[in-house]
Amino acid sequence: MRTWICRIVLALSPGEFRSRFHDEMLDTARTLDRIRGADWRDSGRAIADAIWTICAIRHDLRVEHRLRIPTHRRQPMHGLWQDVRFAARGLRRDPWFAMFIVIALTLGIGASAAMFGIADRLILRGPLHIRDSARVVRMYLTASPDGRRQFTTNSFGYVSYELARRASAFDEVATYAVNDILVGDGATATIARGGYASAGLFPLLGVAPALGRFFGADEDRPGSAEHVAVLSDAAWQRWFGGRHDVIGRDVTVGSHRYAIVGVAPRGFTGPQLGAVDVWLPMSLKGPQTTAEWQTSWNAQWLRIVGRLKPTVTFARANDELTAIHRANYAGTRKPVAQARMTVAPLSANDYGVEAPEVSVVRWLSGVALMVLAIACANVTNLLIARGMRRSREMALRTALGARAWRLVRLLLAESLLLACGGALGGIAVASLLGALAHRFIFSAIEWGAFPIDGRVLAASIIFALMSGLIVGLLPAWRAVRTTLAAALKTGVREGRGQRSTLRHALTITQAALSVVLLVGAGLFLRSLWNVRAVHLGVDPDRVLVADVIHASLSLIADSAAKEAERTRRRDFTSRAIEQLRRVPGVEHTSAAVGLPFGNRFTSGTRVPGLATLPQMPSGPPSVSAVTSDYFATVGTRIVRGRAFGPDDHAGTEPVAIVSATMAAMIWPDQEAIGKCLISGADPAPCARIVGIAEDTHRSELREPPVMHYYIPFGQEVGFGGTQILARTAEGTAAATTGPEVRRALVALDSTIRYVGLSTIQEAIDPQTASWRIGATVFSLAGVLALIVAAIGMYSVMSYLVADRTHEIGVRLALGARGADLARVLLGGSALTAATGVAIGSLGALAVGRFVEPLLFDESARDPVIFAAVAAMVVIVALAAAVVPTWRARQIDPLEALRVE
């Protein structure tokens, strides 16, 4: 950041200063950037310093000049400076005009710069502090099981990491896993993000610690790993107040104390974009997954990254990894043995493809540029109008001997000056929009510093220069083209007789672009509406999910004591369900293993009499174990039969409730109730089906139908992870009931280390993010565009009326009625808008094909949306024409004719 600002300062400084201090100053700024990073306060100070310095150095030089070289030296840019001052004076005389243009450009430049800042991180640059990030890749495995959807994953076991290290395509290979961890003791414990990394990750990424050191290979040795930790800069500030003596102190993670050996530089998040609070040795995480974690093919918990050798292509790396994988796979899953390994850039999501957020960001960048285009069209229009008013002045200058390029320069100085104003405002708008977007739209991403960094600053300046040139060139060209004789002859009413086709074209362009944006807004709003209307089979915002975390059982050495503790915790669950029912605002409570939108349990399900279960793209049936009041708690309807009762628990008759899809798939044309289902490995008893529940979602909003069944809580074998659920009463916010629930649980058991609370809705929200982002930004941009376009149309109409005052006066004098006049003027405006609507609709249809995959159950050609947008634009156009029309009707024929 400082380096960039320094470059700008140097670029704008006098040559004498630049040549003397260039290298040195950049070196200092780089050192500062490297050692201190920059938060928004630093950045603000640096920007203020830059502006001050640029002015102050010029001032110094001026003073020196005055003292030592009194003779006036003609500078080559002298004329340009004069032009700028002249333009500034001209604009000061017309403050409303200048202000409107600056506002329009501010919005356009601000939106574009803010989007650039987001796209820069998400698409162009990726995570911070990675050296040559284009060569760093993440590994994926794609398998195609028979009859099921092909799946891609980036979760691997330690074995795959060991194999990947053999590949010659990489300079280095490292592995990491990011999980929720419990940090601190007792009441101060919090959930944080823990990054378990192999020691090689840091050198691979090329990151240097801000303080202390990263852990080394001897501290991450499987079997004898050290309890050491590296804090993120944010965690260091939050937990230790940024104190320098943090090295050597302890931090409690889970049930262990870790010695802090270093602090990562600010904004470092590893190879992914989400924040990581503490980095820990990967080898400490392994034993938590399974005892044989070093050799197991069944524990997938690691992501693998590699740095490609400079000459190696992605394809070669894919082939080599696949060959190594197939030759060495020793697990039992046939599809995985045949699987293909691939590598993808760090910006890819968990499935190895571009994340939906990234595609949305691409579209939003387009939207921002369209807002800028609309602003430019508008400003061009106004500048042409101004140019026409000034054509006599230009002609006079030409007559007095000014060259064409001199006039162009004068006009360009004006537009560039306006663009500079736009850039300043734009930077402010971009920092505001950026901060809002970081906070509310992309909150899962660690953004680190202030939304404006050197690159965004540079982008704003480039946008401003570009728009300055674009809006200035056309009016300048027109001004120069006007023939001298014609301009001087026209008299007072300049530009008369030319129905400016160019200006109409610009207005039509604005209307058309507004239509495209508004259609986009409509499509995304409808998608969001459709997403909300999806029948989920649960009431996601009314179900509070409590994850109760106790100390790890593995800490208890004595096996009898361990068993006693296990029983005690089981009792705790039933007591907790009882107790929570008494919390005000809670209607139903239950416990469950496996919840909608986060269920991964399958349990070797069989049905007597069927050799295999029907194959579905979504795979074999999933299972969850639930207590009696579960269905009432989450709001899943029992279609037929009964729900579980208080008598269904561990040790009673095995029963099951199947989902409607499962019943229809396995027992078509038969009554499923009363049939038998075998869940779990042999010798499992036959569970009698007692009810059929409506369908719910297994993990995603958009997923093919799934087979699912429920068994009573306590009857589950081979899977676990109890969550306690509370249904809040209608109209009670989960946020207010949450703390009560937490208090009630903690009061019940003093050994609880932490209670994690969330709603099922919170599990869904990330999946709806792309539609929410699309709807918000398209709507904002669309409304903005419409306002700017409306002002544009108003200005065209006003100008038209002012320009035709004489003509209107004559018509009125000859007996034209006000109504005729209104018809002509309003009709013209409506025609302009209608043309824009037609062109914009065609454009929206053409672009719509590409947006369609991003929509949710919504056609990109929805006629309702197109009709609504068309009506809106025409109405706004008419409204914009009302005032000028009224003004035209007020024209006094005598006055109008006397003007000449």
Partner 1 sequence: MAVADPHPNSFLPLATDALLILLALASRPLHGYGIIRDVEERSNGSTVLQTGALYRMLRRLLRDALIEECDPPARETGDPRRRYYRPTRRGRMVLDAEIARMSRLVRAARETGAGKLPRLV
Q: What residue ranges bind partner 1 (CB under 8 A)? A: 2, 5-6, 9, 17, 20-21, 23-25, 27-29, 31-32, 45-46, 49-50, 52-54, 56-57, 60, 64
CB of residue 241 to partner 1, shortest distance in Å: 14
Task: Give the span between the Cα atoms of 468 and 230, in whole angstroms.
Answer: 48
Residues 6+ apart with CB under 8 A from 60: none
Shortest Cβ 2–partner 1 spacing (Å): 6
| Closer residue to partner 1, CB minimum distance, 53 or 133 | 53
Q: How far apart are CA 193 and CA 277, in angstroms?
A: 5
Q: How far apart are CA 897 and CA 261, in angstroms?
A: 88
Least Å distance, CB 50 to partner 1, is 5
Strands (E), 136-221: 136-143, 151-153, 170-183, 190-197, 211-212
Cα 422–426–431 angle (5° rounding)? Answer: 165
Closer residue to partner 1, CB minimum distance, 35 or 560: 35
DSSP 814-868: TT--HHHHHHHHHHHHHHHHHHHHHHHHHHHHHHHHHHGGGSSS--TT-HHHHHH
- The type of residue at 190 is T
Nearest-approach distance from CB 246 to partner 1, in angstroms: 17
3-state SS class at 759? strand
- As measured in angstroms, the least distance from the Cβ of 419 to partner 1 is 24
User: By C-beta, is 52 or 405 nearer to partner 1?
Assistant: 52
Query: With respect to partner 1, which residue has the nearer C-beta, 5 or 383?
Result: 5
Contact 228, 261 (CB under 8 A): yes
Using CA atoms, how far apart are residues 413 and 401, in angstroms rounded to an integer? Answer: 19
Q: How far is the CB of 49 from partner 1 (least distance, A)?
A: 3
Q: Which is nearer to partner 1, 53 or 605 (CB)?
A: 53
Name which of 57 and 305 has its Cβ closer to partner 1: 57
Instruction: Give the nearer residue to partner 1 in terms of CB position, either 17 or 799.
Output: 17
Name the minimum Å distance from CB 15 to partner 1: 13
In DSSP terms, 195 is beta-bridged to 178, 279
Closest approach of partner 1 to the CB of residue 857, in Å: 55
784: Cα within 13 Å, side-chain hemisphere:
24
| Shortest spacing between CB 51 and partner 1, in angstroms | 9
Which residue lies nearer to partner 1 by CB, 52 or 440?
Answer: 52
Q: How far is the CB of 57 from partner 1 (least distance, A)?
A: 5
Q: How far is CA 174 from CA 138, 271, 282, in A?
A: 10, 10, 10
Q: Are 168 and 324 in contact (CB under 8 A)?
A: no
Looking at residue 215, its amino acid is F
Selection from 828, 810, 804 nearest residue 880 by Cα: 828
Of 44 and 209, the one with the shorter C-beta distance to partner 1 is 44
Is-contact 653 688, C-beta < 8 A?
yes
DSSP for 581-639? TTSTTEEEEEEEES-TTS---B---B-TT-SSPPP-TT-SPEEEEE-TTHHHHHTPPEE
Comparison of 23 and 671: residue with beta carbon closer to partner 1:
23
Q: Which is nearer to partner 1, 13 or 415 (CB)?
A: 13
